[in-house]
């Protein structure tokens, strides 16, 4: 049976620019925001190219896809395990250190009889800034 090799990803200026754009901010940008960032230096790049490269870079493990309730996919250049706080008012995201003990992961793996490849631990609430300036019902 034929060994179908995966396509070897070439390095293009667009791909590098997309990666650099995500790495340059700590806002966990979505595709549209990455598009805006990249266009500053590369005005002809298309949105489709941004989408394609974001997926590809995530597959390669150079970026991490994250998503919060009711929001679109966002991208994170911090690929080491960590957690997030998402403000439901301003939609900003804060990175938090990993707090989930390895023992909890293993226990869950035993309970599910599945293999855990990654996890997402997302906290939702109001950030300190929005807590002051927003009514609690948003």
Partner DNA sequence: TTCCTTGCAAATCGTTTGCAAGCGC
Partner DNA sequence: GCGCTTGCAAACGATTTGCAAGGAA
| Residues binding a copy of itself (CB under 8 A) | 65-67, 69-70, 73, 83, 85, 87-88, 94, 96, 99-100, 104, 107-108, 111-128, 131
Q: Is 11 in the site for DNA (CB under 7 A)?
A: yes
Decide if residue 8 touches DNA (CB under 7 A). Answer: yes
CB of 36 to a copy of itself, least distance (A): 23
Instruction: Please count the residues of this chain forming the interface with DNA, following the rule CB under 7 A.
Output: 26
- Under a CB-based contact definition with an 8 Å cutoff, are residues 41 and 79 in contact? no
- Residues β-bridged to residue 94: 85
Buried residues in 87-112 as b, exposed as e (16+ CB within 10 A): bbbebebeeeeeeeeeeeeeeeeeee
Tell me if 63 sits within 8 A of 19, measured CB to CB: yes
- Do 28 and 83 contact (CB within 8 A), yes or no? no
List 49, 63, 66, 68, residue binding DNA (CB under 7 A): 49
The entry of DNA, a copy of itself, none that residue 20 binds, CB within 5 to 8 Å by partner kind = none
3 binds, among DNA, a copy of itself, none (CB under 5 to 8 A by kind): none
Residue ranges with strand state E in 45-107 = 64-66, 74-76, 83-87, 93-96
- Options 1, 2, 3, 10; binder of DNA; rule CB under 7 A: 10
């Amino acid at each position: 049976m034929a060994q179908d090799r995966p396509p070897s990803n070439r390095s293009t200026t667009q791909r590098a620019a997309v990666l650099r754009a995500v790495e340059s901010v700590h806002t966990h940008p979505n595709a549209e925001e990455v598009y805006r960032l990249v266009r500053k230096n590369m005005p002809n790049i298309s949105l489709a190219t941004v989408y394609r490269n974001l997926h590809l870079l995530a597959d390669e493990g150079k970026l991490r896809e994250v998503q919060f309730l009711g929001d679109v996919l966002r991208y994170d250049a911090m690929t080491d395990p960590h957690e997030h706080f998402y403000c439901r008012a301003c939609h900003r995201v804060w990175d938090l250190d990993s707090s989930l003990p390895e023992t909890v992961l293993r226990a869950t793996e035993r309970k599910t009889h599945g293999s855990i490849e990654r996890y997402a631990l997302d906290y939702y609430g109001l950030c300190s800034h929005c807590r002051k300036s927003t009514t609690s019902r948003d």
